[in-house]
Every structure is written in C-alpha cells, then in structure tokens.
A and B are shown apart, each in its own frame.
Chain A
Amino acid sequence: MSANLINLLIEATGQTLYMVAISAFLGTVFGLPLGTYLAVSQRGELLSAPLVNTVLGLVVNATRSVPFIILVVAIIPFTRLVAGTSIGTTAAIVPLTIAAVPFIARLVENAIREVDSGLIEAARAMGATPLQIIRKVLIPEALPAITLGLTLAVVSLIGYSAMVGAVGGEGLGDLGIRYGYQRFMPEVMAIVVVILIVLVQLVQSLGEWIAARVDKRAPKGRGQ
C-alpha cells in the first residue's frame, strides 16, 4: 500500500473523530437539558407542563423521523448560516449535531424516567426545589444509564458520519466510497471497515467501563 494511501487513511480517521467528537459534545450540551426537561415536564411530574411536553415531543420525533441523508441535504441553508459554508468537515458537524440532539434527548429522558420515584419523594420531603432535585438526585442517579446512552449515540454518530461525504464532509466513510467503490480499490474499503469496527469497539468498551465506574447500585466482586 502506498504511503499516500496510508496518509489518506490517517487523515480520514482524524476527520471522522473530529466530526463525531464535536457533534457528540454539542449533542450532549443540548440533548441533556432537553431530555431532562422532556422527562420532568410530563403530566404529574416535577415540572408538569403537558402541552409543552407534547409539542417538544412532536418536534423531537419529527427530527428523528427524517432519514439522515435527507436531513443533511434539507438543512443546507441552515448549515451555511451556522458554519459559513455548507461543504466540508466542519459544515458536516451541523447536521450531525441536529441528528444527535433529539436522539440523545430521548436516551436521557428514558434514563431519568427510570430513576425510582421514591428518591424524588424523599428529596421533596427534604424541602428540595425542582432544580435541586434535578441536579442532586435525577442526573446523578441516572448517570450510569446516561453514560450507556451516550455511548450508543457516539456509535450511531460514527455510522452517520459516513454519510456526510455527500456534502464534502470527508472522513472514513467518504474515503471508503471514493476509493473502495468508485476507484475499484476493495482493499481500501476493507481497511476502512476494519478501522470503523475498531473505533466502535473502543467507544463501546470505554463507555461500558465508565458506566460501571459510576454505577454504585450493585456491589461488584465484593461478595453478597
């Protein structure tokens, strides 16, 4: 394999990591509060607001219904507004983030709804404000599930990032298509797939390791 090709592979891996890392970070920044609010604004919950909850839920569902490749193209004007251009790796972060936010929000929502309602009651009995309950009870208690959810989101983003080649996003997926498919170099395609497998495996293992570290619910290897 030529040195040129190796450089291309390294560069593409870097681009994929860059796109996934930034969009996962931004997705969490927006998705965590949105998901928390979706959980606590349900009828009868801490900040019950059924109407707002329904509307937000519809928006989230609508965004998640759009196939990613269509989303990429459909929001090009918005991408241009935010990133200054609609082409390139940085521009690709915009649709990736737009796809990540509702996905992460739903994962966070589910994680928070799993928290035992008895803990909320105990905190209310202590005189906690809703914000204190969210910060000191709901998020810390949901953290193991949130961590696993974010791992899932990152793995999905790695997959999505392969599609942003359509708008010049580059990265591993794009390299695989351009060289492996269009230039008839199946070995490039194979290497790209292997790198993606290794990436996903690493992300998954790291996520599970962190989740186990923050999960204090069951004693591990301490008997009983």
Chain B
Amino acid sequence: MTNTMSQAASIAFDAVGKAYTKPGGGTVTALENVSLTVEPGAITGIIGRSGAGKSTLLRMVNGLEMPTSGRVRVGGHDVGASKGSALRAIRRDVGMIFQHFNLLSSRTVAGNIALPLEIAGVSSDKIAPRVAELIDRVGLTEQAGRYPAELSGGQKQRVGIARALATEPKVLLSDEATSALDPETTQTVLSLLKDINRDLGLTILLITHEMAVVRDIASHVAVIDGGQIVEHGRTYDVFTAPQHPTTRSFLSGVTGVKLPAFVEHKLTATRPATGGEEVIRVTFAGKHATDPMLALLTKDLGIEVNILAGAVEEIGTHPFGNLLISLPAARADEARAYLERHELLTEVLGYVS
C-alpha cells in the first residue's frame, strides 16, 4: 500500500441536479443546483435528514446514480459522462462502505475482502497477500475464516472498510456507516476511518444524520436540506457560528444542551415590563473558549448569572462550549454586549418572569 498524498482525489459537484419521473407523470426533484468542492485528502461530512438528498449526492460520486443536470468530477473524470468499462474503472478508484455493511453471507471475511480484487481481475497469487495485509490493517486477523453472521456489527463494518480499501482507491465514500452501530463501536469505526485518512491520505466523503459523527472526524461539513446545500465550510466554523436554521437544529441535537423543562415551560418570547430574567445561549469559541467569561462578567459588571445547562467539547483539537444562562433582563443588553466584545456568540432564547 503506497502512502503518498498524491493518492487523494478531489470531488467536484458542479450545479448538480437530479429529478425523478414519477410513475404517474410529474417529477420529483431530489437535488437542485448543488455545487460543492470536496477537499482532496480531507474528511468531509454531508449532513441532512432522511430524504434531504444526501444519499443521492453520495451515489453520484461513483455513478450509482447519474445527475440529470450539472457535472460530477472525481479526480478529473466526469462521472456522469462515463459508462461501461470507463465507469467501472472510476468505480475501482472509489471505495464505498454502507450502513448495513452489504457483505456476502456466503463468503468468509477473507473471501469478502478478496471480492473487489477478483472483480478487478487481480491474479489469485496476488490476492492472498493483499487480503492478509488488509485484514491485519483493520484488526481482524483472528476472524479471517469466519462468516459475516458470526461477526458483531463493528467487525462487519471493519470487513466493509477493508473491502473498500482493497483496490487502493483514491476516494472512500461512507453511506451512514455508523448509523447501525452502538455508540462505543461507532467510536472505534470512526477512529479507524481517521487513521486510514491519515495513513493513506485518501479523500473521505461521508453522509450522516448525526452531527456527532461530523464533530468527531470531519474537518469540513456541508449541510443539505430539501435537495440543496444550505451551509458548508470548516466544521469548527459551522459549529461555532451556524447560519442556517437546519444547521442549528442539528447542532442542538449534538451538543445535548437543552433548557431544563421547568424553565422551558415558563419561557415567553416577550420581555416582561419589569423584572424577570433573560435566557441566553452563549457559544464559546475561538481564543476565549477556555476563559472564565461568566466569572469575569460578574466581576466586571456585577451582574449575577444563573447557569441552566452547558457543555464543553472538542472539534478536532479546538475546544468549543455551549452554555444556557439566565440573568436579570434589565441588564441583559449590557451583558450580551460585554460577551460579544470578548468574541463569544450570544442568542436570546426568551424570558422568564
């Protein structure tokens, strides 16, 4: 297995659209005018709800689905314009792993990993050492002779990953690869993907509906909603300063920072005439992410702050915090201005009296 960064290929979606004709006439638009360039050698996550079009988008990279307008290019090849043996050649450069693993029940671990090599016409004396190397790489040496039915979900996905890497692809596509796994197994599979990305330098494009997956391994993210990319950029930037409501709703799921029920029930949208508290979401990012900003707020302005919920986590190597606080409504404007001056992001959620 070679380990040059030049192995990586870029993926470019250029004004891609996909429309299906319904059996009874009329069309359904799955994707509309999607343009996105995937960084070569990076891990990019596409996040969206089911039906948002992310699966269609991913399948265009290896021509399992063809665009009805626009172009998809992988390492310079126009996938939509290729067919027959040219398309099969592109597919051998693009590995793919699946939510339900899609392993052949009739073949052992080694047999499953050998399949893409057999299909590529590799001679059998070259297949065996290559398969052994891949089995070793994903840590399944003990299980080489077992059948998929005898493996756990995490082991099955490791077989899937080894199989996808067999023909030394330049791109790895991941179709909800961890969605059928428990949280602990998800972590081990994600760290394997991270290692592979680092060691082989291949481009990984993954789709998911879990923001946690994006947070854990993707350096770049695109948010898809209703067949369109509504937001994209570096993961850290999107997490710390989400622009689109869909992105925000995905983020509130992952950070797990929610108002306690007793506050949420009392929350009103309008500020009480007198007294009352303002409820604010504060996002810590950038260089003040680890500073004790609330303590400083109390010290400098004498405003007392109630902490309702909060969490601090990491995206890549950057810390990122999320706090829900309440403070006297009368002095809220002053407090928010102070926080924003220190590069924290604030969002008013409502008021309690």
Contacts from A to B (Cβ < 8 Å): 116, 118-119, 121-129, 132, 136-137, 140-141, 143, 214, 216-219, 222, 224
Contacts and interface: CB of A to CB of B under 8 A. Distances in A.
Contacts of A219: 147, 149-150
A141 B148 CA distance: 13
Given A140-B104, A141-B104, A141-B105, A126 B115 contact: yes
B100 A218 contact: no
A24 B62 CA distance: 42
A4 B105 CA distance: 53
Given A140-B106, A214-B106, A216-B147, A127 B100 contact: no
A126 B104 contact: no
B64 A140 contact: no
27 contacts: A116-B102, A118-B102, A121-B64, A121-B98, A121-B102, A122-B96, A122-B102, A123-B115, A123-B119, A125-B91, A125-B94, A125-B95, A125-B173, A126-B120, A127-B88, A127-B90, A127-B91, A127-B92, A128-B88, A128-B119, A136-B118, A136-B119, A137-B104, A141-B104, A219-B149, A222-B150, A224-B150
Contacts of A121: 64, 98, 102
B89 interface: yes
Interface of B: 62, 64, 87-92, 94-96, 98, 100, 102, 104-107, 115-116, 118-120, 147-150, 167, 173
Contacts of A141: 104-106
A57 B178 CA distance: 41
Contact of B89 (A123, A127, A128, A217): A127
A127 to B, nearest CB: 4
Which 3 pairs of residues, A with B, have the shortest CB-CB distance?
A: A127-B91, A127-B88, A122-B102
B96 A119 contact: no
Given A124-B64, A125-B64, A125-B94, 6 more contacts: A118-B102, A125-B96, A127-B90, A127-B116, A136-B115, A219-B149
Contacts of A137: 104
B104 to A, nearest CB: 6
The dominant DSSP class at the A interface is helix
A123 B105 CA distance: 14
Contacts of B98: 118, 121-122
Contacts of A222: 150
Nearest to B105: A217
A101 B90 CA distance: 40
A126 B119 contact: yes
A126 B119 CA distance: 7
Contacts of A224: 150
Contacts of B167: 126-127
Given A121-B64, A219-B150, A222-B150, A129 B88 contact: yes
A119 B149 contact: no
A22 to B, nearest CB: 29
Contact of A119 (B91, B104, B120, B150): B104
B29 to A, nearest CB: 20
A222 B115 CA distance: 26
A126 B147 contact: no
Nearest to A116: B102
Contact of A216 (B88, B89, B94, B149): B149
A214 B106 CA distance: 8
Contacts of B96: 122, 125
Contacts of A217: 105, 149
A125 B118 CA distance: 14
A143 to B, nearest CB: 7
Given A121-B64, A123-B119, A219-B149, A143 B94 contact: no
A32 to B, nearest CB: 16
B147 to A, nearest CB: 4
A141 to B, nearest CB: 5
B106 A218 contact: no
A118 B149 contact: no
Nearest to B88: A127
A143 B120 contact: no
Nearest to B120: A127
